[in-house]
Structure 1
Amino acid sequence: MEKMVFLQPLVAVLISSAVAIRAYRRKSLNLSGGLAGFLVMTLHFAVNYRFGAILLVFFFSSSKLTKVGEEKKRRIDADFKEGGQRNWIQVFSNSGIASALALTIWKLAGSKDQCLDTEQSTLVTALIGGILGHYCCCNGDTWSSELGVLSDAQPRLITTFKPVRKGTNGGVTKDGFLAAAAAGGLIGLAFVLLGFLTTSCSFDVALKQLFVIPLSAVAGLCGSTIDSLLGATLQFSGFCTVRQKVVGKPGPTVKRISGISILDNNAVNLVSVLLTTVLTALASAYIF
């Protein structure tokens, strides 16, 4: 029994080390991002293998898409980084809230994996739903952004529906919305499939877990929409006549497109994740 207590943290450290080193070598994370990623992944896997798994689904799928069409993105994105390197701030803004929820669940229910079931615990069900919503939002926003830039469709500002340049904060396309829903659905699908192997609950409760998939798709779409609304209003976008690119800061050679300089990209991500987390937690407590 004592060996089992130490087994999960050991597995967590081994998996997190391998993933963080691989991500650093492939330039998905810089050094600070790799260290932060190691800490976050270790915590997720140590608390619950399924939490760690959906974190990996988000990380690997979003990292893969970030590398697709890099030459085209380089021409459009003023802040382009090879491999989409993320630093520690980006890692924590995309996983900090989920980490806090995971620790809370561990405090309340330990490391045993559980089904979403309010008859067992409304609070734990809501917290698990919150973690789901968190990563559906992150994945949805990343997929919609990365695939939206590559789409041939003309983006439109979500607040006015006027055509805008690619790379404008708050610019949306139909392809981007579909990508966001698919990204959230993938998180939900992974959560449900793993749950059939790691949880033990009654047939009725197990069957009801399938509702996680459409809920996750909606969470991905919702998170991307909130992110776009914040980006269009509280985040500055302008066109630099010298660099011939959309930029995120005002300047003498920059013509404003939309938004005001209140939030930067990391703050927009954090707020949209927080709101989606809360909404999905409430929906989970109601549905399950």
Structure 2
Amino acid sequence: MKAIIAVPVIVAMLCRSWSHKSLTPAGIVAALLTAIAHAVHPWSLPFALLIVFFLAGTRVTKIKHDEKAKLTMNASGSSGGEGARTHIQVFANSAVASVLTLLHAYQLHRRGQDINPATGADETCYSLPGDLLVVGIVANYAAVAADTFSSELGILSKSKPRLITSWNLREVPPGTNGGVTAYGIMAGFLGSLVIVTASTALIPFCAPTLGWNFRSRQRFCTAMALWGTLGSVLDSFLGGWLQQSVVDTRSGRVVEGEGGQRVLVSKAGPNSMHYKKQAEVTAALLGGEGKGSVPLHPNNEEAEALEKVLNGRMGVTDKYDTKNQIRQPTIRDEKPSRYVESGSVGLLDNNQVNFLMALTMSLGGIAVAGWFWDVPFSSILSV
């Protein structure tokens, strides 16, 4: 990419991110490093895909943002919705593409002359069978764009999402990891198609005499668009298995961690300090001698009597306060405030799932293209 074009674009994108607070300070540094890694490539393809993904992702994030914010909630208790992206989130989506871009730029540099003296072919154009690294770069951005579109637009679906890792595809709250809808999958295909269309326009395909005629380009575009959509489906499987989705019991909304991090869930049990502390507070309200004056596990009659006395002491006639639209806690509130809806394994957070998906789809796309074109996988490391 020519510096006279790349530098102003990078500055403009970073200024926009700063003014719109779409990236944290560390996220801006990560975005700068990522942009530089893409800009050093002699083709405009990698840098352009990065910009297209950034602009398209930012756009779909803002679509009905207020409405989406009401469907989930932040771990701090505020409304949900995408906040400023961190450096970890930037690298999760672009680290694989950055490495592949640098590797391909190095390969092009080592090839030397633009024209092969033996064949007279232009070495800088994309011949067929082509460099597998190019497939990996396109596959990365097609997959992460599909995942972004699917997440940001799929949550607006009128139908309830169904958990893709559940044997009966049970319904789950909007925003649940592993929850899919037909609308979300279609949105994912749209995101993938945006990237692949840009790729088809920007890849310097060689002349039809070297294999790239209209039909072969059409097949390439279709295959990459479907592959990117498959990436969003893979992300749903990984999220449904390996990433916890935590639901707030009071509102029924999915709780999102700051910057894609894990959400803490209290594991209260019948002998936990939660219930012992609750007994102490109840005893104090009743004017008892101590924690032993109130049973830790009251039966129904004891619980009803204690609740009636507590309501009278606190001036509450009903445990549902219609004025404030909140439920007053009672002696029988023995459920934790959050529970795990899916992904009980909980090995990964959202950023790790995104990175694993991007890595899998990039390397998987390279492997499939290598098999189809009969090009060895090891060629990605050759110079």
For Structure 1 versus Structure 2, the TM-score category normalised by the shorter chain is 0.7 to 0.9
SS at match of 1:72: helix
Picking from 153, 157, 160, the partner of 1:151 is 157
Q: Contact (CA 8 Å) 2:243, 2:343: kept in 1 or not?
A: yes
AA aligned to 2:196 is: G
Which residue of the partner structure matches residue 42 of structure 1? 36
TM-score (ref. length: structure 2): 0.67
Which residue of the partner structure matches residue 3 of structure 1? none
Which residue of the partner structure matches residue 228 of structure 1? 236
Which residue of the partner structure matches residue 19 of structure 2? 25
Cα deviation digits, residues 150-196 of structure 1 (max 9, x gap): 1112100001211111011100000111111121121111111123x
- The answer to whether the aligner puts 1:270 opposite 2:355 as a matched pair is yes
SS at match of 2:212: helix
SS at match of 1:56: helix
Picking from 136, 144, 152, the partner of 1:138 is 144
SS at match of 1:28: coil
Change (3 A) 1:149 1:90: same
Change (3 A) 1:143 1:94: same
User: 1: distance between equivalents of 2:369 and 2:234?
Assistant: 19
Which residue of the partner structure matches residue 126 of structure 1? 132
User: 2: distance between equivalents of 1:154 and 1:10?
Assistant: 48
Picking from 60, 78, 86, the partner of 2:55 is 60
Which residue of the partner structure matches residue 324 of structure 2? none
Picking from 239, 256, 265, the partner of 1:250 is 265
User: 2: distance between equivalents of 1:282 and 1:185?
Assistant: 21
Which residue of the partner structure matches residue 71 of structure 1? 66
User: 1: distance between equivalents of 2:231 and 2:94?
Assistant: 14
C-alpha displacement of 1:215: 1.6
Q: Contact (CA 8 Å) 1:16, 1:41: kept in 2 or not?
A: yes
C-alpha displacement of 1:78: 2.2
User: 1: distance between equivalents of 2:33 and 2:191?
Assistant: 24
Cα deviation digits, residues 116-175 of structure 1 (max 9, x gap): 522xx5xxx211101111001100000000111111121000012111110111000001
User: 1: distance between equivalents of 2:202 and 2:179?
Assistant: 35
User: 1: distance between equivalents of 2:195 and 2:213?
Assistant: 17
AA aligned to 1:14 is: P
Change (3 A) 1:116 1:72: farther
Picking from 191, 194, 203, the partner of 1:183 is 191
User: 1: distance between equivalents of 2:199 and 2:372?
Assistant: 16
SS at match of 1:94: helix
Change (3 A) 1:36 1:12: same
Which residue of the partner structure matches residue 114 of structure 1? 125
Picking from 212, 229, 236, the partner of 1:205 is 212
Report which of the two has the higher share of helix: 1
User: 2: distance between equivalents of 1:234 and 1:245?
Assistant: 20
Q: Which has the larger radius of gyration?
A: 2
Q: Contact (CA 8 Å) 1:151, 1:175: kept in 2 or not?
A: yes
User: 1: distance between equivalents of 2:64 and 2:38?
Assistant: 31
Bigger CA drift: 224-233 or 32-41? 32-41
User: 1: distance between equivalents of 2:180 and 2:127?
Assistant: 33
C-alpha displacement of 1:11: 3.1
What is the count of residue pairs matched by the alignment?
Answer: 275
Which residue of the partner structure matches residue 227 of structure 2? 219
User: 2: distance between equivalents of 1:116 and 1:214?
Assistant: 18
Which residue of the partner structure matches residue 238 of structure 1? 246
- Give the CA RMSD over aligned residues: 2.1
AA aligned to 2:174 is: K
Q: Which 5+ residue runs of structure 2 have no aligned equivalent?
A: 111-122, 256-262, 267-335, 374-383
Q: Contact (CA 8 Å) 2:136, 2:363: kept in 1 or not?
A: yes
Which residue of the partner structure matches residue 4 of structure 1? none
C-alpha displacement of 1:213: 1.5
User: 2: distance between equivalents of 1:141 and 1:153?
Assistant: 19
C-alpha displacement of 1:82: 6.5
SS at match of 1:257: strand
User: 2: distance between equivalents of 1:148 and 1:15?
Assistant: 31
Q: Contact (CA 8 Å) 2:139, 2:365: kept in 1 or not?
A: yes
Which residue of the partner structure matches residue 102 of structure 2? 103
Q: Contact (CA 8 Å) 1:63, 1:84: kept in 2 or not?
A: no
Cα deviation digits, residues 105-125 of structure 1 (max 9, x gap): 01111398532522xx5xxx2
AA aligned to 2:239 is: G
User: 2: distance between equivalents of 1:267 and 1:235?
Assistant: 9
C-alpha displacement of 1:27: 2.4
- The answer to whether the aligner puts 1:280 opposite 2:365 as a matched pair is yes
Q: Which 5+ residue runs of structure 1 have no aligned equivalent?
A: 1-6
